[in-house]
Amino acid sequence: MLMLAAKSLWSRRLTACLILIAIAISVCLFLGVERVKEQAKDSFARTISGTDLIVGARTGPLNLLLYSIFHLGDATNNIGWDSYQALRQQTAVAWTIPLSLGDSHQGYRVIGTSGEFFQHYQYGDHLPLQFAAGTEFSKVFDVVIGAEVAQALHYQLNDDIIIAHGTGKHGFSRHEDLPFRIVGILQPTGTPVDRSLLVSLASIEAIHVGWDSGQQAQHLTAEQALSHNLQPQSITAALVGLHSKIQTFSLQRAINSYQPEPLQAIMPGVALRDLWQLMSVAEQALAFVSAFVVIAGLTGMLTTLLAGLNERRRELAILRSLGATAAHLFWLLTLEALILVSGGILLGIAALYLGLILLIPWIQLHYGLRLPMQIPTSTELQLLLGIWLAGLLVGTLPAWRALRFSLHDGMTPRN
């Protein structure tokens, strides 16, 4: 029976190939969307790792997460420098990373921080930041840029850039008198760091010397700016790492009840999970799109098989006249459909992995998604089994219709 089904499909190889291609495309897109969805969720959850607490002015947890990690929106208030020093001196604290936001460069956020950012900031599975070229800043007017900034703006080491006051596309006022020199370019991370420019806290203070209420009151040279006291009065937020995770909750309670000023400490993992739940609509939309792609492919197969069934009425009648029973015809047509579905699934999987081989570097560079070259997961195998069973169901419909053709009707088809 299998050999007969294979020869039958070979006699209609053009139609069979078109069905195979349609199913393969739908399976490839289905698995591709599913893998992108899962990796986007995983990449989102791994935006930051190794950080136990994020500390900022008292606000909503999601707002603190958005402006400190994703650099979206602005802080409602800052943290006093004395409060930050008190936080660093806590016995439970192993390290801290100060963050000072509020400036930009051509729409990309400028982050004032310290050398501890390069030592302790981690993403993914505790991956550290690495340099594609250059090194971390050491002077006041040095800047380290992310991979996306370097690529989008075609920057190289030792290029001079101008930082703007504010976070708009062009900023409100440009610090024209105090250019920065690029001393380092980070490797891609797939996180907001790729879209950031990193400078020292002293740099943030230096470019705002002579400013009053957001307006530049006097123009200063670099030497004049450096002659001022560049110790910051406040920062926007701080990332905190602890000696032991057991101390996380006790320190969080202590920070949230800090008396000198209202502070808030959040655990990034919990806040990331809550934020992803708010984005579940997009996840469901991707699932619906991928499901309808498969439905469209199977519907195309059903339409083609039903359309070609009328042309095969004489063939089926001849088989009946040679002794084939109705059950033989039913299983023959069903087996043909299963061969097409199985072949389409295998071809779709092959197309997916070929696409991954070709597109993984481009996807990682432009979208920060790390799509792994791994065997299908248990979830993907279950989905493929569902597609195969759906193909089996679709294949039985033309087979059932063939049972209705009588021997006389097949031998003398109507015009």
Q: What is the mean pLDDT of the chain?
A: 81
Look at residues 75, 71, 70 and name the one whose alpha carbon lies nearest to residue 58: 75
Question: Higher-confidence residue: 32 or 217?
Answer: 32
214 token code pair? 């957001």
Residue-wise pLDDT for 86-98, tens only, equals 999 999 999 999 9
Mean pLDDT within 315-319:
63
Instruction: Check residue 252 and give its pLDDT.
Output: 94
112-121, 250-259, 270-279, 395-404: least confidently modelled range: 395-404
Collapsing DSSP to helix, strand or coil, 177 comes out as coil
Distance of CA 61 to the CA centre of its chain: 22
Max mean pLDDT range (205-219, 321-335, 379-393)? 379-393
Residues 39, 371 contacting (CB under 8 angstroms) = yes
Confidence band for 218, pLDDT divided at 50, 70 and 90? low
Question: What pLDDT, on a 0 to 100 scale, did the predictor assign at position 406?
Answer: 44
Q: What is the percentage of the chain residues whose pLDDT exceeds 90?
A: 34
Q: Which of 234, 240, 260, 245 is nearest to 112 (CA)?
A: 234
Whether 37 has a pLDDT exceeding 90, the answer reads: no
Quote the pLDDT of residue 410.
Answer: 47
Tell me, yes or no, if the pTM score tops 0.85: no
pLDDT at 333 over 90: no
Whether the pLDDT of residue 119 is over 80: the answer is yes
- pLDDT > 70: percent of the chain: 78
The span from the CA of 397 to the CA of 302, in Å, is 8
Q: Is 80's pLDDT higher than 50?
A: yes
The larger pLDDT score, comparing residue 353 to residue 117, is at 117
297 or 323, greater pLDDT: 297
* 312: pLDDT strictly greater than 70: no
Strand pairing partners for 57? 263
DSSP symbol at 80: E
Q: What is the mean pLDDT of residues 192-214?
A: 83
Task: Give the integer Cα–Cα distance in Å for 114 and 94.
Answer: 15
Q: Which residues 6+ apart lie within 8 Å of 65 measured at CB?
A: 54, 266, 268, 271, 272, 275
User: What pLDDT band is residue 249 in, cutting at 50, 70 and 90?
Assistant: very high
Q: How far is CA 305 from CA 89, 95, 232, 273, 391, in A?
A: 74, 66, 74, 46, 12
DSSP sequence for 28-54: HHHHHHHHHHHHHHHHHHTSSBS--EE
- What the block records as the tokens of 54 is 């994020």
Q: What is the pLDDT of residue 390?
A: 82
- Segment among 42-56, 179-193, 276-290, 363-377 with least mean pLDDT: 363-377
More confident residue, 409 or 296: 296
Asked whether residue 407 carries a pLDDT value surpassing 50, the answer given is: no
pLDDT at 224: 73
Whole-number pLDDT of residue 341: 84
Can you give the pLDDT at residue 325? Answer: 62
Amino acid 158: pLDDT: 93
**Averaged pLDDT for residues 274-300:** 76
pLDDT digits (tens, 9 = 90+) for 152-202: 899 999 999 998 877 655 545 676 778 899 999 999 888 899 999 999 999
For Cα atoms 67, 70, 72, give the angle at the middle one, nearest 5 degrees: 50
Mean pLDDT on 282-309: 74
What pLDDT, on the 0 to 100 scale, is given for residue 212?
59
Burial 307-322 (b: 16+ CB within 10 A, else e): eebeebbeebbebbee
* Banded model confidence at residue 367, pLDDT cuts 50, 70, 90: low
Token pair of 196 as six digits: 């950031």
Residue 263 pLDDT class (50, 70, 90 cuts): very high
60 within 8 A of 335, measured Cβ to Cβ: no
Q: Which residue has the higher pLDDT, 357 or 218?
A: 357
Token digits for 250?
């006790």
199-228 mean pLDDT? 74
